[in-house]
Amino acid sequence: MTQQVAPEETPFDFDKFGFEKAIIRSIKNEGFSTPTPIQDMAIPFVMAGTDLMGIAQTGSGKTAAFSLPAINKLIHDYRKPDPNHPRVLILAPTRELVIQIGKFIDQFSRGTSVRSLVVAGGQSYQPQIRKLKHGVDILISTPGRLIDHMGSGNVKLEHCHTFILDEADRMLDMGFIDDVKEVRKTLTDDHQTVMFSATMNSKVRKLSGELLRNPEYVEQERKTVVADTITHKLMNVRRKNKTELLISLLKNEPIEKALVFARTKMGADRLCKELTQAFADTPIRIDAIHGDKKQRTREKILLNFRKGRTKVLVATDVAARGIDVDGISHVINYELPIEAENYVHRVGRTGRAGETGIAISFCDPSDMRLLKDIEKLIKIKVEIDEEHQYHFEQSETHDVNKGRVRRKPRNQNRFEKSRGRKTANENRRPKQPQDEPVGKKQKHVNKREENKANKSLKPAKSNRYDPLDSSFGFDEDPVLQKLRGKASKRKQKSENETETGPQKQTQNERKEKKRKTPKARITLRGKPKQTGGHKAFSPKPKRANRQGTK
């Protein structure tokens, strides 16, 4: 007689946290088999009701780390929510992120009585007000909209026992600190606070000190700032060829979904138009997402991208924040971000949850400084991909060993000059006024001028790429151009000042100026003076004055 053996239950890694059955069911339905490291570390503390500071990046599974224990608590002590009194509050910096968190919570509370609501700017108030009045357990919001609702009495936080702050660093960067503190003030003393941030800096540390009580600290260990599932590539391409290169990549690379980054909203629209034209006869659909598009439109664009109807999405940094779309195989930096931090956020859209991803950055000579900053931040030397028809050897060499970008001398003359050849430049030293004795002060000024002129012949700076030096004659980038413009104006101003400044004036000229100046003053003082208390500062006397001078 054969003995019947009960089928052995396969141990499930998430069982150890003590989640309610409904949550375990959802986790299984989602296909999660093992907790991510941040989930392993954070969930026990959040379940225990301890305040927590978690350092983890997008893609680490942090949303589950804070959401699952919160849902679990609500299921465990379930009672119908009072109108306008959420019991869990989740704050995140962007609309996209709160929507994404809301979706996650929806999925994981399916089949339970837990109700959640997302409120964010750009959506109409009335449906939000109605739902809040009806009562929600979890409120997921951006700070601005929450403050609005609190101000009009639609949200009251006296029953809120769990306060979660996601992407605290970004929240601080975006200037939401006062809103966060205002929200915190209205919470009762016995609430739990859970804070997550991608980075730890002094501002985040200070905020955590203000918000958390006896917190536990967990940090997802990482070798690099970006996930090691991402391959980074650099393509040297001139600005004028970037679109052609992008088209060729989109045609030839095995792309599942591509997120292409442009720096400006107009740039994103323009690029989207060009790509749409190029792929008009193909089934490839392209769209653009940026802050000028209405919330509804943005949601639709994201849905199409998520569902794979749109294969290529051109985005700006702000619009792309919090995009959680599976299957982005490529992130293409059509333009490098000005802030190196944004590179991390951009490429974080690919290579998520263990999948691999490719990040390709187009780089023209004017991007070299930005690239250097990025490499410093991510601690990776980005490999140059020369296998494309627009590749050119940049005069800057990308020194992989030293991690530096060096510029070969473009103008050999600059170096010859520096090697001591007498050139016209040297004659630019300020001339001594021949017709006057050189005083002590003047001597000093002239010495300074001489030093300056000599300094300009030194090679030290000329072999380094200086993005503010327009003499390199790069293909201009509008943003850098703007930055350069400012600096060069300043430079120009100071040059002009030097040109016409006291050093260049002869004593006779100075005497002449001195002679003229008092006269002018006397003329001004000679005008009828408007007096009379603070009226003197009001525009009226000024007008009277102008009329009087006519």
Which residues of the chain form contacts with ligand AMP (CB under 6 A)? 32, 35-36, 39, 58-64, 324, 352-353
What minimum distance in Å lies between the beta carbon of 34 and ligand AMP?
Answer: 6
Nearer to ligand AMP, 266 or 353 (CB): 353
Nearer to ligand AMP, 170 or 369 (CB): 170
Q: What letters, b where the CB count within 10 A reaches 16 and e where it falls short, cover 60-69?
A: bbbbbbbbbb
Nearer to ligand AMP, 36 or 128 (CB): 36
Determine contact, residues 319/95, Cβ cutoff 8 Å: no
What minimum distance in Å lies between the beta carbon of 351 and ligand AMP?
Answer: 11
Q: How far is CA 14 from CA 10, 19, 31, in A?
A: 12, 8, 12
CA 373 to CA 379: how far, in whole Å? 10
Nearer to ligand AMP, 64 or 105 (CB): 64
What minimum distance in Å lies between the beta carbon of 218 and ligand AMP?
Answer: 14
Nearer to ligand AMP, 37 or 49 (CB): 37
CA 324 to CA 259: how far, in whole Å? 12
Nearer to ligand AMP, 56 or 147 (CB): 56
Tell me the pairing of strands 286-289 and 216-219.
unpaired
Q: Is 229 helix (H, G, I), strand (E, B) or coil?
A: coil
What minimum distance in Å lies between the beta carbon of 33 and ligand AMP?
Answer: 7
Nearer to ligand AMP, 132 or 171 (CB): 171
Q: How far is CA 385 from CA 212, 239, 362, in A?
A: 47, 17, 10
What minimum distance in Å lies between the beta carbon of 282 and ligand AMP?
Answer: 29
Q: How far is CA 337 from CA 40, 227, 316, 376, in A?
A: 33, 18, 10, 14
Q: Is 56 helix (H, G, I), strand (E, B) or coil?
A: coil
What minimum distance in Å lies between the beta carbon of 78 and ligand AMP?
Answer: 24
CA 201 to CA 76: how far, in whole Å? 36
Maximum Cα–Cα distance for the chain, whole Å? 127
What minimum distance in Å lies between the beta carbon of 488 and ligand AMP?
Answer: 43
What minimum distance in Å lies between the beta carbon of 363 and ligand AMP?
Answer: 29
What minimum distance in Å lies between the beta carbon of 38 and ligand AMP?
Answer: 8
Place of tokens 């296909």: 31
Phi, psi of 140 (to 5 degrees): -115, 120
Sorted by sequence, the CB contacts under 8 Å of residue 463 that are 6+ apart come out as 406, 407, 408, 409, 415
CA 377 to CA 543: how far, in whole Å? 57
Nearer to ligand AMP, 63 or 84 (CB): 63
Determine contact, residues 478/338, Cβ cutoff 8 Å: no
Nearer to ligand AMP, 35 or 467 (CB): 35
Sorted by sequence, the CB contacts under 8 Å of residue 484 that are 6+ apart come out as 467, 468, 470
What minimum distance in Å lies between the beta carbon of 90 and ligand AMP?
Answer: 12
Nearest to 334 by CA among 250, 394, 231: 250
What minimum distance in Å lies between the beta carbon of 60 and ligand AMP?
Answer: 5
Q: How far is CA 33 from CA 30, 104, 158, 389, 532, in A?
A: 9, 17, 37, 44, 82
Determine contact, residues 139/116, Cβ cutoff 8 Å: yes
CA 208 to CA 79: how far, in whole Å? 31
Nearer to ligand AMP, 212 or 328 (CB): 328
Nearer to ligand AMP, 60 or 162 (CB): 60
Nearer to ligand AMP, 63 or 366 (CB): 63
What minimum distance in Å lies between the beta carbon of 39 and ligand AMP?
Answer: 6
Q: Does an H or E element contain 450, and which?
A: helix 440-455
